[in-house]
Structure formats: C-alpha cells, structure tokens
Amino acid sequence: MADPTEPAEAASTDGDATSGGGATVVEKPKGPRRVGVLLVVAVLAFLIDLGSKLLVVAKLENHAAIKVIGDVVTLQVIRNSGAAFGMGQALTVVFTMIASAVIVVIWRIARRLYSLPWAIALGLLLGGALGNLTDRLFRAPGVFRGHVVDFVSVQHFAVFNLADSAIVCGGILVVLLSFRGSNPDGTVHQQTEKGDK
C-alpha cells in the first residue's frame, strides 16, 4: 500500500512492472530548453567541416598526400560518392535523402530538448549531416549527386572528413546516453527493484 505522503506520480510508477521485475522511475525535466546549445554545436561543427574542406581542396587536391603520422595518417583529397567512409557509392541520391531526413528528425526532437548532453550529441549529428549534405547539394557532378570531400586517411581503415567524425562522435554519445537511461527531454529512466523504497 502506497504511503499517502508520497507524491502521486511516484506512487503511480510503483505498479508499472518491467520484464526485469522492477519499476520504471521517471524524473521530471529540469532546467531550460537546450536548443541554443544544439544550434551552437551544429554551427561550429558545420563551419569547421566546411572550412577544412575548402582548405584541403584549394591546397591538396591533385597533389601528393601529406604525411601526418608517417604512413599511418595522411591527408589526401578523395571525392566520395557514397556514405561515410566510402560505403554505398552507387546510392548517392539515397544517402542525400537520408541525411535530409536525419536533419528533420533532429529538429523535431529539439522542440522538447532539455538535456545538455543530448543537445551536444544532436548538435554534432546535425552539424555533420549538414556538412556532408552541403557537398551533396553543391559539389559536382550535380544537385543531390554531389561527391563528398574526404581527406583524412588512416592506414588500413578509411578516408573520411570532419563531418564524418562529428557524426560518429554524436552517435556514440547518443548510445551512451541511451544506455544510461537519459532522454532528450531531460527525464531519466531508472530500473528499481520491487521492494526498494
């Protein structure tokens, strides 16, 4: 029997059993919305990616690779028609549409965004997606079919750009936040044992 002095919300969650035999406790959102943080991170990621691509195209394209760490890490311009790390090169238009959809989804989530870590993660994803989408729209051979500029080459791995790096870092952060039970709206889901007070 629930303690009448406890808040109604806490009492109502006691009966929501999960498959693990616990109850889901949801904390209320705290603090202000974090759309501003998301936009700042996205703009910074986008501008850094755009600036790096403009620089390497002007200075490195059609030149010999520059060794950064011996033969392990080099800088060389590659025009990539596929997705991140050169995958799916025959599906340029498809990846353009996927990037557009990702941007729309992130913007919809932003309307209820109260978590600072989620704002950073989604900002990285948004900035990276915008960076590569810009190449798809404005680089040769044409709109929606433009080739992405990749220039960081890691031996036995792939050639990628800073937008790819932002997407990967943002994705990893999203996974970690999800495992911790954190939600974009600032709530936290925690599993508690059935007899715990």
Q: Which residues are catalytic?
A: 150, 164
Contacts of 27 (CB under 8 A, 6+ apart): 186, 187, 188, 190
Of 42, 81, 55, the closest CA to residue 152 belongs to: 55
Contacts of 144 (CB under 8 A, 6+ apart): 92, 93, 96, 136, 137
Burial class (CB in 10 A: 0-12, 13-18, 19+), 43: middle
For residues 43 and 127, is the Cβ–Cβ distance under 8 A? yes
Position 178: which residue type? S
40: helix, strand or coil: helix
> How many Å apart are CA 92 and CA 44, to the nearest integer?
25
Position 112: which residue type? R
Per residue, the 3-state secondary structure of 57-94, as one string, reads HHHCCCCCCEEEECCCEEEEEEEECCCHHHCCCCCHHH
